[in-house]
Structure 1
Amino acid sequence: MSENRDPGPAGRPLTVADVLALPVVADGDPRVVTGVEHVDRPVRWVHITELTDPASFLKGGELVLTTGMPLPDDTSGVRRYVDELAAVGAAALVIELVRRYHRPPDALVDACRARGLPLVTLAKDVNFLEVTQVVHALLLGNQADAMRRTQRVHEAFTALTLRGAGPEDVLRAAAEMSGRTVVLENLVHRALVCEPSGSTAEAALTDWERRSRSTPAADRAGIRGPEGWLVAPVEYQGETWGRVAMLHDPSGTSGPSYTFAPARTAVPPPFGPEDVTVLERTAMALTIARLTHPTPWERAAHRNALRDLAEQRHHSPADARARVAALGLPTEHTRFVAVLADVPAESETARTEARLSEELDASGAPALVGLLGPSRIGVLLALRPSQPWRQAVERVSRTVLDPAPGTTVSAGSPAGDLADVARSFREAARVAEATEPGQLLPPDRSFHERSDIGLRRLLFALRDDTRVQEYAERQLGRLLDHDARHGTGLLATLRGYLDAAGNKTVAARAAGVSRETVYQRLHTIERLLGRDLESGEQRTELHVALQALDALRGR
C-alpha cells in the first residue's frame, strides 16, 4: 500500500480534496456532486458505515463511506439521514454506485445540497478498508510531522528572541515558515512592516487602513474580518500596542487544485493549527522585541521606507505607493519634496530626528522622517499641488535648526510622482555635497537648494575628484612652488588681478602697491605659468583654477 501514501501538503490538515486525490480513492473515479466549495474541509477520520443512523457514532470531521445499502427509501428518511450527518459535522459523504445505486438518488442530492454537505460518488468498486488504512496512516503521520514542525517553530522563534532580532527579522521568519504574507501594524492601523509571501506588497497593502479597520481586534490569535485574516495582538508594557496579521494569498491560487472536481473558483486554503502556532509565537517574539529595542518601530518603519525610496529598492512603483500609503502618507494628487538635514554633532542626530518627527506629527503635516546616515536625517514631504513647497521646507529647516544649530539643510526640487522621489533625494544630496559648513544664505531662507550651486560650490562638491585636483595643480602649481621657495605673494597678486576683471589700476589700489609693482609681478606670473593674462579665455581658466584651489583648501 506504500504507493498510496501520498501525503497532503505539509503544514495543514488533510482535507476531503486530499483524500479524493489519493490513488486508492481516485481509482474509483470520484465525482463531487454537491458541496464542491467545501472540499477544503479537514478530515479527522474515515468511517465506514452501513447503518441507518451513522451520526450517533461520529464526533465530527469524519469522511463517511457507504455502499448506499442502508439509505432509507422515503424522501423524509433520506433528509433525516443527511441532516444528522451535517449536524454532527461530517466532512463528506462518499457513496459507491456499484451495488444498490448506479446514479445518486435525487432525494440524497437535494438533501446534501441543502445542507452544504459534500456528496461524492464512486463509479467503480473501491476497497473501503484499504481507504481507511491509508488515510489513517496519513493522519497519524501528519500528527507526528505536525508535532515536529511545531517544535521547530518554537526553537526558531526562541533563537530569534535570544539574539535580539528586530521586527523585520521576526516577520520574515513567520512568512517563510507559514508561506503566508505577514503584516505588523500599530493601533492606528499603520502597516509598519510587511513581509509578502506569494504575493506583492501592492496586493497585500493596497487600501490597508480601510481593510484593517473592518477587521475587528482580538485578545488572542483568531480569524477575523471579511477577508478572514488570522490576527494576534502585540503588547508593550502590559498594554496592547498593535497586532500582527497573517493574510491569505490575494491571488486566491495558493490552494490545491483538484482534477476530479468540476471547474470552480479557487479559494485560499484555510488557516491550520500550525499557522496559529506561528502567529502566536510571532506575536510573543514581537512583544519581547518591543521591550528590548529602544527605537520606536514607527520611526524604524519611516527610516526603512525613506531608504527604499531614496535608493529605489522597491520591487515596483506600485509596491512603493502601497507601502507609503499604508504608513499614512497620501500618494494621489500629491507633490513630494526630499529634504536632507546634516547635523554637525552625530550624538545629536537621533534627538533631532525625534523632535522633528514629533513636530511634524503635531502640525498634521504628512511626512516621512528618518535617519539616512550617522549624522543625516531624511524627510519626505507630501504636499498638495497648490501648496508652496519652499514654505514647507522652511518650516522643516527652522524646526531642525532650533535643537541643532549649525545643521545644513538641503532640498531637492519637487517630484510629481512617488516614482520620481529618488531624483529629488539625489538633488538634495548634490546640494549638500556642494555646501560648505557655514555657507551663507539669503536672509529670508534657512535651507539650500539647487539654484544656489554656482561655480565655487560646484567645485567644492567635486573637490575629491582627481581631475579637479590635477587641473588646479597644472594651472597653478609652478606659481605655488615659486611662492613657497621665495616667500613671494604672486598667487595673491593673480587673485587680485582676476577679481578686478583684469583692471591693473583697481588691482594695485586693492593691494596697496603701485601700478609698476603690479605690472612687474604680472609679468613674472606670465613667465612662470606660460600664460597670456591679456587673454580673456586664459584668465577664465586661471580663475576656475583658483576657485578649485580654494575648494581643495576648504576656503
Structure 2
Amino acid sequence: MSLLTVGDVLRLPVIAAGLPRVLAGEERLAGPVRWVHVTELLDPASFLEGGELVLTTLMPQPNDPTRLRGYVDQLADVGAAGLVVELGRRYQQVPSDLVVACRARELPLIVLSRGIRFIEVTQTVHALILDAQGELLRKSQQVHEVFTSLTLRNAAPEELVRTAADLLGHPVVLENLLHHAVISCTAGGSPGQALEAWARRSRATPTPDQAANSGPEDWLVTPVEHNGQRCGRLMALPDASGRATGPEHTMILRRAATALTLARLTGHTRWDRSAHTSALLDLVRWNYSSHTEARIRIEALGMPTVSHRLIAVVIGHRHGAADEAALDDPLAEQLRSAGIRALVGRISPDRTGVLLALARASAWQPAVDRVGRFTKEILGEEAVVGVGPGVSELDQVARSFREAEDVADAIGPATPHRPYHVPSDIGLPELLHALRDDVRLQKYVEQQLGRLIRHDERHAGDLLTTLRHYLGAAGNKSIAAKQLCVSRQAFYHRLHTIEHILGYSLESGLRRTQLHVAVLALASLTTADDVQPETPDDVQPDLGIDVRDAPST
C-alpha cells in the first residue's frame, strides 16, 4: 500500500465537504503526504520536517506581497506537501500574490470555499497514514522473508531480479558500470519499451547514494555494491501505464539490491558472462518474438548491430568442459581491451560461443585470429576454433553459429593446426571426422577394410599401412614403396596379398576411391596418435576474405 498523496487527501469526504479548488501546483498533487499540520504561524517552517500538508485560514497573515512570498518560500524550501486555505474567516478570496508565489514555487495551493473542521481532517488523514505505514511495515517483513529465503538457497541474480519485478509490478533492470543491461525483467511489459536506446537513457540518469527517483524518466534507482565498492545499480522503470513508484517500491528495490550484494559475496559474480550466455543462447535458439526485440536486447548489452557485420565463432574444448572462468572471462577481457565488441558465453558444457560485431569496412580475420591465438594460449593447441559466415541481421546469427559448430565438429587430428578454421577448410577428411559417430560410416569401414584389419591382427602384419601409403600416393607404387622403405618387389607382393584378401583388383579407380574413403574414415575413428596427417603442418590458410566464409554485408 502506498502512502497518501495530496490528490488522495482532496478526495476524502472530510475535505470534499469544503469544495476544494486547486489554484497552483497541479503537477505536484501526486506528492506524498507524510502528515497534516494545522498552523496560523507566520514562520511555520521551523515546525515542519517536509511532506506535511499545511491547513490554515491565513488569519494573521499580512497583506504585504513580500511577506506572502516569504511565507510560501519557507513552505517550499522545507518540502511541504501543499497549502490548504479555508476562506471566509479573513479572506473571501485568496490573495493573488499568494497564488502567484505558489505557482512560482510549484507548491500545491488548495482553497476551501466552505468551512470544515480541521480536527476531523487531521484525525482522518493521520489514521489513514498510520494504517498505510503499518501496512508498509507488514509488507516490508514479507519482502524481507522472500529475499532471505532466496538468499539462503543461493538463488541466481536472474531469479532475484525477476522476483523484484514481480513484487514491484514494474520493469526492473540490473546494469553494470558500463551501462550494459546485464539482467532485465519487464514484468509482463514489452522488452522494447524498457530497453530501447538503453545506454543513452541510462547515462542520463544519475545514481543517488541510496534508493531514490532519478533522471528525466523518473526511474527508481539504487546502487549495488560489492566489498564496499559499487559494481552496478538496480532500477525500476515506470510501467506501461506510467504509474509512479512509491515508498513500497523503494523498500522492495532496496531489499533486492541487498540480496544481489549477498549473491556476489557467495559466488554469483559473473553477471556479464551470464548475460552474454543468455543472449547468445536466445539468438542460437531464436527465442525472440521479433527482430526489433532481439536488436534492443543485444544493444542493451553494449553490442552494436546496425551497419555491422556479425561473425559467429565456436570454440570447442577437445577434452570435455573447461572451467568457464579459465577461458571465457579472460577472452572477453582480451577482446574488450582490444576495442572489439563481442558477446562471450558458454553455449554448451564443452563449447564457448563468441559473437563479434565488426564494422563492415573492417577485415574480420584479425579479430578472429586474436580469438584463435588467445584460445590456444589458454587451452592448448588441441582447442578448435570454428568460424561461421558473416551475417548482417540478428535472425541470421543462428545459421552462422550452426555453420561454425559444423566446422568445429569437422576439425580432426589430421587437420593442419591453425588459429581458426572456416567452412572452406572442411575437406573429405574433415567431413568424415564430423560423421565419425554415424553407425553407417562405421559399417562402411568394416565392410571395406574388416578382412584386411583381421588379417593384420592375426599375422601381426602391416598391410593396412601399405594400403594407406598406396592410396595416399594416388596409386603410384614407386612413391609408396619409397615412403615405406621397402623394395618395389616386396611392395608388389604386399599389394598382391591385399588384392587376394579383399577379393578384387586395385587397378580400378573406383575401387581405390572407395578404399581411400574407408581408410580416411578409419583414421577419424581412431585416436589422434594413430593418425598421420596427409597435409604438411606448415601449410597456412589463405587469409583473404572468402565470400563463402564471411560475406560482406
Give the 5 Å matches for 1:218-367: 218-238=208-228, 240-249=229-238, 251=240, 253-255=241-243, 269=244, 271-293=245-267, 295-314=269-288, 316-345=290-319, 346-347=321-322, 350-367=325-342
- Shift of residue 504, structure 1, vs aligned partner: 12
Identify the range of structure 1 (223-232 vs 126-135) with the bigger mean alpha-carbon deviation.
Answer: 126-135
TM-align CA RMSD: 5.1
CA distance in 2, matches of 1:477, 1:333: 53
Which of 477, 484, 492 is 1:512 aligned to?
492
Amino acid at match of 2:146: A
Return the offset for 1:403. Answer: 2.7
- Counterpart Cα distance in 1 of 2:422 and 2:448: 37
State the Cα distance separating 1:148 from its structure 2 match. 0.5
Higher mean alpha-carbon deviation, 452-461 vs 506-515, is at 506-515
1:408 is displaced (CA, Å) by: 1.1
1:342-395 Cα offsets, whole Å, 9 max, x none, are: 223445653233442343233232222233333322222221212222332122
- Give how far 1:317 is off: 3.5
**What residue is the counterpart of 2:375 in the other structure?**
400
Distance 1:363 1:482 in 2: 55
Q: What residue number does 1:529 align with?
A: none
In structure 2, the partner of 1:390 is 365
CA shift in 2, pair 1:76/1:355, >3 Å: closer
* Corresponding position of 1:4: none
Residue in 2 that maps onto 1:453: 426
Q: Is the 8 A contact 2:414 2:429 kept in 1?
A: no
Q: Rate the CA distance shift 1:387–1:250 in 2: closer, same or farther, 3 A.
A: farther
Q: How far apart, CA to CA, are the structure 2 residues paired with 1:108 and 1:311?
A: 64
Contact 1:341 1:407 in 2 (8 A): yes
Q: What are structure 1's unaligned runs of at least 5 residues? A: 1-9, 256-268, 527-532
Residue in structure 1 matched with residue 392 of structure 2 by the alignment: 416
1:302 counterpart SS class: helix
Give me the whole-angstrom Cα distance separating, in 1, the residues matched to 2:445 and 2:339: 55
Aligned to 1:3: none
Following TM superposition, by how much is the alpha carbon of 1:14 offset from its aligned partner in structure 2, in angstroms?
1.5
Distance 2:208 2:81 in 1: 28
Q: CA deviation at 1:411?
A: 0.9
Change (3 A) 1:198 1:109: farther
The alpha-carbon distance between structure 1 residues 86 and 481, as it changes in their structure 2 partners (threshold 3 A), is: same
Deviations 1:104-157 (A, max 9, x none): 897776565444344557899999887666544432221111010111222233
* Counterpart for residue 404 of structure 2: 428
Which residue of 2 is the match for residue 40 of structure 1? 30
Post-superposition offset of 1:91 = 3.5
Say if 2:210 and 2:223, in contact at 8 Å, map to a contact too.
yes
User: 2: distance between equivalents of 1:435 and 1:512?
Assistant: 35
Q: Which letter does structure 1 place at the counterpart of 2:26?
A: V
| Conserved? CA contact 2:234–2:257, under 8 Å | no
Quick one: distance in 1 between partners of 2:25 and 2:172?
Answer: 31
Question: Partner letter of residue 359 of structure 1?
Answer: Q
Gaps of at least 5 residues in structure 2 are 482-487, 532-553
| Distance in 1 (alpha carbons) for counterparts of 2:134 and 2:326 | 52
Residue 373 (structure 1) aligns with? 348
Tell me the equivalent position of 2:535. none
Is structure 2 residue 32 aligned with structure 1 residue 17? no
Greater CA drift, 503-512 or 144-153: 503-512
Shift of 1:184: 3.1
Taking the aligned partners of 1:52 and 1:144, their CA distance within structure 2 comes to: 31
Deviation of 1:40 (Å)? 0.4
Matched, 1:167 2:157: yes
Give the equivalent residue in structure 1 for 2:539: none
Change (3 A) 1:137 1:243: same
Which stretch of structure 1 is more off in the superposition, 426-435 or 118-127?
118-127
Q: Separation in 1 of the partners of 2:359 and 2:95? A: 67
Find the aligned partners of 1:383 and 1:165 in 2 and give their Cα distance. Answer: 36
Whether the 8 Å contact between 1:193 and 1:301 is mirrored in structure 2 is: yes
8 Å contact kept, 2:467–2:495: no
TM-score w.r.t. length of structure 1 = 0.72
Compared CA separation, residues 331 and 498, structure 1 to 2 (3 A): same
Residue 148 of structure 1 aligns with which residue?
138
- Residues 244 and 198 of structure 1: is their aligned pair in 2 closer, same or farther, counting only changes over 3 Å? farther
Q: Percent identity?
A: 45
Q: Give the 5 Å matches for 1:34-113.
A: 34-45=24-35, 59=48, 61-63=51-53, 83=72, 86-87=75-76, 90-92=80-82, 112-113=102-103
Cα gap change, 1:359 to 1:535, in 2 (>3 Å): closer
CA distance, structure 2, for counterparts of residue 344 and residue 462 of structure 1: 16
TM-score w.r.t. the length of structure 2 is 0.72
- Please give the secondary structure, in 2, of the residue aligned with 1:245: strand
> What SS does the corresponding residue of 1:512 show, helix, strand or coil?
helix
SS of aligned partner of 1:379: strand
Contact 1:184 1:242 in 2 (8 A): no
What secondary structure, in the 3-state scheme, does the structure 1 residue paired with 2:367 have? helix
Q: What is the alpha-carbon distance in structure 1 between the residues aligned to residue 151 and residue 453 of structure 2?
A: 66
